Structure 1
Amino acid sequence: MPDFLALIRRGIRLPPAGWVLAAILAFYVLAGLFGRDPWKGEDAIHIGAAWQMFHYGDWLSPDLAGRPFHEPPLYYWSAALTGHLFGWLLPMHEAMRLASGLWLTLALIGLYYAGRELYGQESAAASPLLLAGCAGLLFHAHDAQPMLIALAAYAGALGALATIGRRPRLTGIYYGVAVAGCLLGTGIAPTLPLLAIAPLAWWLSPDRPKALHTLAIGLGIAALLILPWPLLLLNLEPARLHGWLATELAPLKTAFSFSGAGRFLSMLPWFAFPALPLAGWTLWTRRKDLGAPAQLLPLAFLLLTLLMLALAFRPRETPALLMLPALALLATPGALSLRRGAANAFDWFAMMTFSLFAGLIWLAWSAMALGWPEKLAKRVVILRPGFVGQFDFSDFVIGLVATAWWIWLIVTAPRSPYRSLTHWALGFTTLWLLATTLILPWFDYGKSYRPVALAIARELPEGHRCLAERGLSDTQRASLSYFVEIEPATIGSVAGKACDWLLVGGDTNQELAAPGGNWRKVWEGNRPGERKEKFRLFRR
């Protein structure tokens, strides 16, 4: 008890290390994984594909609502596995979402070791804290998201290649596993920067013959891990392999887009804050030593990643995640070498910003659960028609503990180069935890397709599963499959033409109109609060 009281008075030691650092990062990984349905977008799509694999036992290649889904299988293997292990304890979608926590953990660990190797033990904790503090990652890290595998592979490969001159055997193993994981998890295009950085790592090594041998071992391990899956697919389901290859190679046949690269770069000021300005500070303060491995390796990897993104992806937030490991690593020296005035300003900005937003979340919770203030409570219902807020004691306690933790951290954190960075990363995490406990029911009410799926299932005759569809997105089909085990067929297909029930989705009356023939509308609906997207169910 005296030791515990001493810890309360003293606060955490900075830089965080050992179990303290592990607890901080675990807090970040777990906050937001639980307590919600699969949300509209990629979360629902990937949970739907993983559930299909788990439910039907087709482990060779993923399907989505009964149709081939030309994606590599590793994320769906891992999600189906966590669903099998924890489905007895959690709702299946939450158990499957734990796979994202696993890959995010590996990314943070890989970046820790990369930072330790390039910048020393005292700087190692800053690298994963910078990655965790990036605004863009927080909004995707707790979804079902295969791109997190590439994030882990990039961090692991940077950590491995940083040790190429000191621990060549481990470098080869980790590099090979990273390449294999990236290709089996996210496909060919995200794997290209991992291959393209190898010549630079060889050139930077103090022992180039040994480095060449190391990289050869790594590529051999990668080949051994990768080849069984496409060979099995070629032997058992060749059409699936050809479909996957066509999907993977199509973006690589397009021309490089400078506008695409510019749009990816334009995301970074908010998406990669605060890593981006701190990486710029690193490059400025170490501008005379840019050829050293500590600067050149992450900088070159960042440029290769940007080149790949501009070539193979449309400018979106999800692929932009791949720029974050190199940026966080490059920002590590800058974060710990800020001048006192800048460090204090960053610290105050973090404390004031997250304290203000935490207060706003409590105010929104009060309106939602207690009905005060009245004007805000009315606005809550207007934005989510039909929503009824309830007081949940467990969520209230979690919110109180998180708020007390944040206040304790502010009061007790000692002066250190790590102080502002720790406040930023933990402030962001605390804010996210408050949002995903106190006001999560309000978000979940409008972002889940569960009400739509259940309403459609109620209209269909019991045991009836022959449903055609027109205009449904992957998210909507995945939600129907997961929530009510209905897999609608395309209206133009042989199976779809045989169905007497038709589900139509769209935004306009023209899109929602019945096709030619004797169709009668039996139901119309939408997600709560959704004004454009609607659904109509017809019977022939």
Structure 2
Amino acid sequence: MPLPSQSFAHRRPLIGDPPQTGFVIALCALFLLTGLFGRDPWKGDDALHIAVALGFAREPGWLIPTLAGQIWLDTPPLFHWVASLTGRAAALIGASFADGVRLTSALFTALWLLGSAGAARELYGAPAARIAPLIAIASIGAVTYLHDAQAATTLLAALGLGMWALALIARRPLHGGIVLTLALALSGLGTGLWLTAILLLTAALMPLLPVWRTVAATPQRMLALPLAMLAGTALAASWYVALRLERPELAAQVWDEDVASLLPDSALLVGGMSSWVKVMAWYAWPALPVAGWALWQRRSQWRSPVLTLPLVLMLLLFVQLAGDGIARNQRALPLLAPLVVLGSAGLPKLRRGAANALDWFGVMTFSLLGIIIWLGWVAMYTGWPARLAKTFSRLEPGFSMPFYFMAVSLAVIMSLAWVWLLWRSPRTPTRGAVSWGCGMVLIWFLVSSLWLPWIDYGRSYRDVARQLAEHLPEERTCVAYAGLQESQRAAFYYFAGLKPLAYASGTGRRCSVLIAHYGRGGRKPALDAGWTLKWEGRRPGDRHEHFLMYVKNTT
């Protein structure tokens, strides 16, 4: 009979090197589905994209996106088409429309993870395919965007599938051609023709590489790439063509914006370089350092798609983004796609000291954050520690933390699973990817289960919209707005069905109700004596937002 220590030594480890495919799929599924449900549309892009999807569900027509009744052309409508369908499906089973819309973000993010895994497998081998999704979900800067209603997830899906297609098409032309066609269609219908142009340029450069020409030596294989490019471009431009036939002036506006995106401003590109470096230094962690190590390790393969494909795509994206505006967190999102694929090659090749440091840093960081989240929940629920409870109360005045047994129980289970994982997982070169991927899932799960009521209270416009609707006069010609941001109009449309008109327009001037907003450093609008202030309010935790409702005097 073996000794207990010997028996334990021969047990199969929970996570291998690299981790098993089933484990990676389960972890990614948990990451994608956590935090999507049971919350209102939040201030910012979440409310904005939910309202645009709701416009397709409430208003007639599926060609032109609208925001609270007004034409909205910031992105093509693929995300909002799909989100409208998932939102309606969710409403049919008793969930909220917003919950269903966020499922669309999970769908396109899953396509990104799938494409990244496929590209990593084709370029670097099967083990890298299981590392790439872990690096993707561990990206610090992306976690909130991937769980909001976010049209930029179509961009990530197009980039991930595009890299997979270009890595695959020389070896398996039919499969690669289908995936490339899909990637190009997603880029044009979901993001814009500027992204389609970047993918087409990257695809056109691949046959220049000697290794690519060797793999795709036969004429039949060489034809697969241009045929897929033609088919994908036709699908990508289909919405633009339909818009040009229906509303040529709107199509011209879309075209001008896409062309402007492809012509970077050299002054912005050079002047804003330092700001982009600062953003990416934390935003793309841990993908950025391991991708840099992969570039160094494989520097001799610079004429192979192994390096050229993700590197060319990253450079083209960086030039377009940096030359089109200042560095912001959301705008950096597409740069993660090539970095994640490159990082899947670099992380398994880290030297032992660097691999252990990455693992140790992840374990310590996420363990400490987990303790802080639990302590914050205890403070909000019990009032102890008093100083911490006072801080939370000051940020969101009037909030009282409820006790949800199921949410707390699941948070306890997740915390114990984290401890068990650290105890059972062996020290391997790829353990850093596992620690970071699992750690990000832990933190997002704890925040979504323990802190969700507090965050929802602070980022929702539900109460403001309710108060506003209660004070609206029943007899009114129309409602105008002045100073409202897009996400605020979106929230009022979602909660109160309001479709206000711009007060600066001729039609808005004739309205009998005016909703105004001013923020930090602003002041109440200067109106003539014909208007009476009927209501004023704001969200409890926001001291800078002020909403006012004026009613035009009838006498």
TM-score band, normalised by shorter chain: over 0.9
**Aligned match for 1:92, one of 97, 107, 116:** 97
**Bigger Cα displacement from structure 2, 290-299 vs 345-354:** 290-299
Task: Give the one of 236, 239, 242 matched to 1:229.
Answer: 239
Tell me the amino acid that sits aligned with residue 301 of structure 1. Answer: L
The DSSP-based 3-state class of the residue aligned with 1:513 is: coil
What displacement does 1:266 show?
2.6
What pairs with 1:72-221 in structure 2 (closer than 5 Å)?
72-89=76-93, 90-204=95-209, 205=212, 206=214, 207=216, 209-210=219-220, 212-221=222-231
Q: Is the 8 A contact 1:261 1:307 kept in 2?
A: no
Pick the aligned partner of 1:436 from 440, 448, 455: 448
Offset of 1:211 from its aligned partner?
A: 5.2
SS of corresponding position for 1:369: helix
The answer to whether residue 45 in structure 2 is matched with residue 32 in structure 1 is no
The within-5 A match list for 1:106-505 is 106-204=111-209, 205=212, 206=214, 207=216, 209-210=219-220, 212-253=222-263, 255-256=265-266, 257-462=269-474, 466-505=478-517
Name the counterpart of 2:5: none
Partner of 2:546: 534
Which SS does the other structure have where 1:539 is aligned? strand
CA positional deviation for 1:128: 1.4
| Shift, 1:318, TM fit | 1.6
Match of 2:26 in 1: 23
Shift in alpha-carbon separation, 1:347–1:509, aligned structure 2, 3 A: closer
Counterpart of 2:151 in structure 1: which amino acid? P
Pairwise CA distance, 1:38 = 1.3
Whole-angstrom distance in 2 between the partners of 1:526 and 1:107: 38
**Paired letter, 1:322:** P
- 2:66 partner amino acid: D
Separation in 2 of the partners of 1:305 and 1:484? 39
TM-superposed deviation, 1:484: 0.5
- Determine if the alignment matches structure 1 residue 68 to structure 2 residue 71: yes
Q: Deviations over 1:309-353 (max 9, x none)?
A: 123344222221111111111112220011222212211111111
Give 1:229's aligned amino acid.
W
Q: Is the 8 A contact 2:24 2:134 kept in 1?
A: no
- Equivalent position amino acid for 2:384 in 1: W
Q: What is the CA-CA distance between 1:8 and the residue it aligns to?
A: 11
Inter-CA distance 253–419: structure 2 relative to 1 (3 Å threshold): closer
- What secondary structure does 2:111 align onto? helix
More divergent stretch after superposition (265-274 vs 366-375): 366-375
Residue 245 of structure 1 aligns to which amino acid in structure 2? W
Q: How does 1:39-50 map to 2 (within 5 A)?
A: 39-50=42-53
1:55–1:429 distance in 2 versus 1, CA, 3 Å: same
Q: Distance in 1 between matches of 2:292 and 2:259?
A: 34
Contact 1:512/1:535, CA 8 A, preserved across alignment: no
Distance 1:161 1:530 in 2: 48
Q: Which amino acid aligns with 1:477?
A: R
Shift of 1:35: 2.4
Q: CA deviation at 1:464?
A: 5.2
Identity %: 38
User: Does the Cα contact within 8 Å between 1:33 and 1:143 map onto a contact in 2?
Assistant: yes
Residues 29-61 of structure 1 deviation map (CA, whole Å, 9 limit, x = unaligned): 112212221111111111110111112242112
Cα deviation, 1:483-514, whole Å, max 9, x if unaligned, reads 11011111122332222211110126853234
CA change 1:406–1:462 in 2 (3 A) is: farther
Residues of 1 paired with 2:260 and 2:529: CA distance? Answer: 38
Q: Which amino acid aligns with 2:468?
A: I
Q: Secondary structure at the match of 1:197?
A: helix
Would the aligned equivalents of 1:343 and 1:417 in 2 still touch at CA under 8 Å? Answer: yes
Distance between the aligned counterparts of 1:262 and 1:210, measured in 2?
Answer: 46
CA distance in 1 between counterparts of 2:82 and 2:9 reads 42
Aligned residue number for residue 4 of structure 2: none
User: RMSD of the TM alignment (CA)?
Assistant: 2.2
CA contact (8 A) 2:476 2:513 kept: no
SS in 1 for 2:422: helix
Amino acid in the other structure paired with 1:11:
L
Aligned-partner residue type, residue 76 of structure 1: H
Query: What's the secondary structure of 1:536's corresponding residue?
Result: strand
| Aligned pairs, number | 536
SS of the aligned residue for 1:336 comes to: helix
Give the AA of the match of 1:139. T
Q: CA deviation at 1:455?
A: 1.0
Residue identity matched to 1:156: L
Tell me which amino acid in the other structure corresponds to 1:58. G
Structure 2 vs 1, CA of residues 137 and 19 (structure 1 numbering), >3 Å: closer, same or farther? same
Distance in 2, Cα, partners of 1:8 & 1:148: 40
| SS of equivalent residue, structure 2 residue 533 | strand
Deviation at 1:228, TM superposition (A): 3.5
Query: Given residue 401 of structure 2, which amino acid in structure 1 is its aligned partner?
Result: G
Distance 2:345 2:101 in 1: 36
More displaced stretch, 207-216 vs 488-497: 207-216
For 1:511, what is the secondary structure of its paired residue? coil
Partner SS, residue 387 of structure 1 = coil
